[in-house]
Amino acid sequence: MSDTTLTATHHDATHAHGHGHHHADGHDPNLQHHFTEMAQQFDAAKIGMWLFLATEILLFGGLFVGFGMQQAKFPEAFKAAHHHLDWQLGALNTVVLLVSSFTMVIAVWASMTGRRKTLITNLILTLACAGTFLVVKYFEYSHKIHDGLLPGKFYSYAHGQPNEYIFFSFYFMMTGLHGIHVVLGMVAIGWILVRALKGDFGPGYYTPVDLVGLYWHLVDLIWIYLFPLLYLIS
Amino acid sequence: MSSHAHSHENDWKIYLGVLLALLTLTVITVGASRIDFGSLNVIIAVVIATVKASLVALFFMHLRHDKAINSLIFLSSLMFLSFLLILCLIDVGSRIEPKPANWKGPDKGLMSPRDLDKPATPAGTAPGMAPAPATEAPKPAAPAH
Amino acid sequence: MATTTTPVVHKGHEAPKDYLNDQPGIWSWMTTVDHKRIGVMYLWSVLGAFLLGGLFALALRLELLTPKEDFMNAETYNKVFTLHGAIMVFLFIIPAVPAALGNFVLPLMLGAKDVAFPRLNLASYYIYVTGAIMAVAAMVTGGVDTGWTFYTPYSTTTTGAVTLMALSVFVLGFSSIFTGINFVATVHKLRAPGMGWFDLPLFVWGIYATAIIQVLATPVIGITTVLLVMERVFQVGIFDARLGGDPVLFQHFFWFYSHPAVYIMILPGMAIISELIPTHSKKHIFGYRAIAFSSIAIALISFIVWGHHMFTSGQSQLAAAIFSFLTFLVAIPSGVKVFNWVATMYRGSIALNTPMLYALSFLLLFTIGGLTGIFLGALSVDIHLHDTYFIVAHFHYVMMGGTVIAFIGGLFHWWPKIYGRMYNERWGQISAWLVFWGFNVTFFSQFFMGSQGMPRRYFSYLDQFQPWHVASTVGSWILALGLFVAAGTLLASLRKPKDAPANPWGSKTMEWETQSPPIAHNFEHTPVLTHGPYDYSPEPVGRRR
C-alpha cells in the first residue's frame, strides 16, 4: 500500500514542506495517511477552515439582518435604547480584540518562523486579551441586569420608549452568541498552547495554529461590525 | 523551501502597522459617530467597519498571499448574505399597506413583552386575538402555510 | 482502456479482505474513519428515517380515504403530517444521497483513499444521530403540529415540542454543513494525479455543487431555528407581530435556506442520473460541460428565488415579481440537463436493467415535477394553486419522483460495489415498475384535486374530492409495495456470497477499477487517470472529456 509518490509540485503555497522529524520511510509524522504531501494537507485544511468561517458569517449574518430589519422599523426606539450602552467600554473591548488579533497573528508567525517562545508568549497574551474582553462584558451585563435591561420577557426597565426591548433582545443575542464564540476560541487557543508547550509546532507543521488563528480573527471581525451597529449608531 | 522562511522574517512589522491602522480607524469610527450624518450614519459606520475588516482579512488572515479559493469562499459568504438582506429590505420597503377606515394611527407598541396578554393556546387551534394588534405588521396571511 | 490498478487476487481459500470485514466488531464500526463505513452507517440510518416517514405517510393517506374522522382526530393529523414532512426532509432526503452514496462513492471516483477530513466525517454522522434522537424525542413528548415549515406566529405560540424539534433541526444542520465542508475540500485537493476538473465524473460535479449549498445555506436555518426558539421561549420580538416582529420575516429566513435545500435534495439525484444513463447506455455523456456548469448555476441561482414560496404570505408585490422572474431562470439549467440526458441515450446501447428503469422513471417524473414548478412560479397561477394539493403533487414529483427514485436507482447501481453482491435482477425490475406506477397513481391524482381547490394539510374535505383521495391512497399502497420489494431485493442479496465482479456494468468511472467491495484503503496503488469517465466509444474520441 505504498503511495506512489508524485513528483512534488513545488507550490508557492505558504510553506508547509515537512522538514521536521521524519519517520524511517521519510514521511512527516503529521502527514495523514490519505494525503500524499504536507502542502496538500495544509491547503485542504485551510479550505476547510475558510468554509467553516463562511458558515459562521452566515450564522451571525442572520442576526445582523434581523437587527437591521427591526432597526429600520423602530429607528427611534433603537436610537433611544443604545444610549444605555457604554460606548467607552465597547471601544475598550474593540481595542482589546484588535490587540488580541495582533498577538494571535504574531503567534502564527512565530510558529511559522520557529520562534517557540514568541509563540507561547503571544498565545498567552491572546488568552489574556480574550479574558479581559469577557470581564468587560461581565461588567456591562451586570449593569444591564441591574437596570432591568434584559432580553425578551425579562425586560423590566420601566422608563424609556416602547419597543426599546427589541433592541436589547438583539443586543443580548448578538453579544451573547459572540461571547460564546470567544469562550470557544479561548478553549481552542488553550489547546494550541498546550501543544505548543509540548513542542508540536515548527516551520514544518503549524497548521493548527494557523487555523485557530483564522477562527480568532473571525471573532474579531464580527465584533468590528457589532461595535458600531450596537454602540454607536445615532 | 528554506528560502520561504526568510521572506517571512519581517512580517511582524507589517502586522504592527496594520494594528496601528486598525486602532486609528477605531478612533475615527467613534469620532464619526459623534457627527450626525442623518440617514448616512449607518452607511458610514459600516464602510469604516468594512475597511477594518478588510485589513484583518487581507493581512491578519493572510488572504493577500493565500490561494484564491479562500478569498472566493470568504467573499461568497458575504455576497449571499447580502442577497438575504437586500431582498428582505426590498420586500419591507415596498409593501403597500392600506389602512382601515377607522385608522387611529400606529399602535404605540409594548414597553416589555410582559405587557402582552398571552392567551393559552390549546394544540391545534390558532392563537387568540391579541388585545392591541401591531399595525406595523402586514396583513395576516392565510393560516397554516 | 488500460488501468494501473488490479483487483486484489488472494491465493488460498479465505475471502479477500475488504472494508466490510477487515476490522471486525461493532466498536471498529463505531470508531471508524473510513468513508465507506461511514457511508454505510448513514445509509441504514437514512433508510430507517425513510421507513418512519413513509409509515406516517401511509397513515395520512389511510385517514384521507374518507372525509370524516376515521382513526385520527384533527390534532393528531396535524402532528402526523408535520412529522412526515420533518422526518422526510431533515432526516432522510437532505442527507441521503450526499452522506450515504456520496460518502461511499466520491473518494473512489477521485481515486482517493478517503475524504479530506475523515474524523470530521465521523463527527458529522454522530451529529446526525444526535439530531435524529432529538427529533424522535420531540415526536414522543408532545409532537409538533405546525407543519414542517414552522411558520410563525403559530409555531411561537402553540403547545407541543416545537422547541425541541427546532433545536434538532439546528443540530442536523451541522451534520449537513460538515459533510459539505468535507466534500468541497476533497474535490479540490484529493483528485488522482492527472485528474483535472473536466475529467471528473458528473456525479462529482453534482455533489460538489450540493456541498456549496450545504455550506452557504444551512447556517441560515441554524440561526432561524435559534431565533424561533428565542421568540417562543423569551419573546424577543422578531417574528411575532404583537411584539413588534414580522411573521413574514420568519418566512424569508426560513425559505432562504429551505429553497436552496430543495436543490441540496435534487442536485445529488441529478448527479446519480448523470452516471446511470451513460453507463447503462454505453454511451458518452452528451454535453459534459453544459451539465457540469448547470450544476453550479443551479446552486448559485437557487439562493435568489426563495420568495416564490411566499407569494400569498404578505410580501410586497415588487418582491414577489422579482422572485417570480428569477424563478424562471433557475429552470433553464435543469432543462439543459434533461435534454442532455435524453441526447445521451440516443443511439446508445441501452440496457433496460433495474438502475436504468429507475433512471428512465426519473426522466419522466422529474420533468413533470419541474414543469409544474414553472407553472407555480407564475405569480397569478400560484395565487390560485398555493397551499393546494397541486403544490403537494409538484414537490412529491421532484423530491420523490426525482431524488428518491434516483437514490434507489443509485442504490441498485452501486450495490455490487458497496456489498459485493449482485441482487436478483428480475425482482429489481418488478420493484421499478411497482414504484413507477404506484407513484404516479398516488400523486398525479393530486394535481387534479389541487387545481380543483383541495387544500393541503386538511384532514377533512368536501365529498367531491373523495374519488381522487381514494385513488391516491390506493396508489400509496402500490408504491409502498414497490419500495418493500426494492428493499427486499437488496436485502436478499446479502445472503449470497460476495461474488460481484469489480465492474459489472462496464462503467468507465474510477470506483469500478477496484474490487467489489473495495479494500479498506480503496486502491492498491494510487490510480493514474488513463481515460475519461464516459469514454464508451470503441476508440478514444480525441481529447479526454
Grid coordinates in use for A47?
A: 479550505
Mind listing the pLDDT tens digit for each residue in C72-128? Answer: 999 999 999 999 999 999 999 999 999 999 999 999 999 999 999 999 999 999 999
Confidence of residue C495 (pLDDT cuts 50, 70, 90): very high
Rama region for C52: left / alpha / beta (φ>0; ψ in -120 to 50; rest) = alpha
Confidence of residue B1 (pLDDT cuts 50, 70, 90): very low
**Residue C323 scores a pLDDT above 70:** yes
CB contact under 8 A, A68 and B85: yes
**Residue C540 scores a pLDDT above 60:** no
Interface check C445 vs A, CB under 8 A: no
Rama region for C250: left / alpha / beta (φ>0; ψ in -120 to 50; rest) = alpha
Can you give the pLDDT at residue A8? Answer: 35
Sequence-distant (≥ 6) Cβ neighbours of residue C26 within 8 angstroms: none
Can you give the pLDDT at residue C4? Answer: 45
Q: List the single residue in C with minimal CA-CA distance to B142.
A: C313
Mind listing the pLDDT tens digit for each residue in C256-290? Answer: 999 999 999 999 999 999 999 999 999 999 999 99
Query: Rounded to whole angstroms, what are the CA distances from A228 to B43, B47, B117, C379?
Result: 11, 11, 35, 40
Mind listing the pLDDT tens digit for each residue in C144-187? Answer: 999 999 999 999 999 999 999 999 999 999 999 999 999 999 99
Can you give the pLDDT at residue B49? Answer: 96
Interface check A47 vs B, CB under 8 A: yes
Widest CA span in chain C: 77
Chains adjacent to A (≥3 CB pairs closer than 8 angstroms) = B, C
Mind listing the pLDDT tens digit for each residue in B8-20? Answer: 889 999 999 999 9
Widest CA span in chain B: 80
pTM of the model: 0.91
Grid coordinates in use for B17?
A: 502597522
Interface check A58 vs C, CB under 8 A: yes
**Residue C28 scores a pLDDT above 80:** yes
Interface check A50 vs C, CB under 8 A: no
Can you give the pLDDT at residue C14? Answer: 57
Q: How far is B45 from chain A (nearest CA, A)?
A: 6
Interface check C24 vs A, CB under 8 A: no
Q: Which of A38, A58, A177, A180 to mutate to test the interface with C (most CBs of C within 10 A)?
A: A58
Can you give the pLDDT at residue C15? Answer: 62
Cα–Cα distance for residue pair C4/C540, rounded to 1 Å: 18
Tell me which chain B residues have a C-beta less than 8 angstroms from the C-beta of A210: 62
Sequence-distant (≥ 6) Cβ neighbours of residue C301 within 8 angstroms: C326, C329, C330, C333
Can you give the pLDDT at residue A233? Answer: 77
Cα–Cα distance for residue pair C210/B59, rounded to 1 Å: 31
CB contact under 8 A, A4 and C223: no
Secondary structure element (H or E) that encloses residue C414, with its range: helix C405-419
How is residue C199 annotated by DSSP?
Answer: G
CB contact under 8 A, A34 and C114: yes
Tell me which chain A residues have a C-beta less than 8 angstroms from the C-beta of B43: none
Can you give the pLDDT at residue C294? Answer: 97
Q: How far is C219 from chain A (nearest CA, A)?
A: 5
β-strand partners of C455: C388
Can you give the pLDDT at residue A28? Answer: 85
Confidence of residue C455 (pLDDT cuts 50, 70, 90): very high
Partner C, chain B 102-121, Cβ-Cβ below 8 Å: 109-110, 113, 116, 118, 121
Can you give the pLDDT at residue A17? Answer: 44
Average pLDDT over residues C501-525: 95
**DSSP string for B29-53:** HHHHHHS--GGGHHHHHHHHHHHHH
- Range of weakest confidence among A27-36, A106-115, B129-138, C15-24: B129-138
Rama region for C390: left / alpha / beta (φ>0; ψ in -120 to 50; rest) = alpha
Task: Please give chain A's pLDDT, 234 residues, in tens.
Answer: 333 333 333 333 344 444 445 565 667 889 999 999 999 999 999 999 999 999 999 999 999 999 999 999 999 999 999 899 999 999 999 999 999 999 999 999 999 999 999 999 999 999 999 999 999 999 999 999 999 999 989 999 888 888 999 999 999 999 999 999 999 999 999 999 999 999 999 999 999 999 999 999 999 999 999 999 999 976
Cα–Cα distance for residue pair A69/C247, rounded to 1 Å: 12
Mind listing the pLDDT tens digit for each residue in B23-56? Answer: 999 999 999 988 888 888 889 999 999 999 999 9
Can you give the pLDDT at residue A27? Answer: 79
CB contact under 8 A, B137 and C78: no
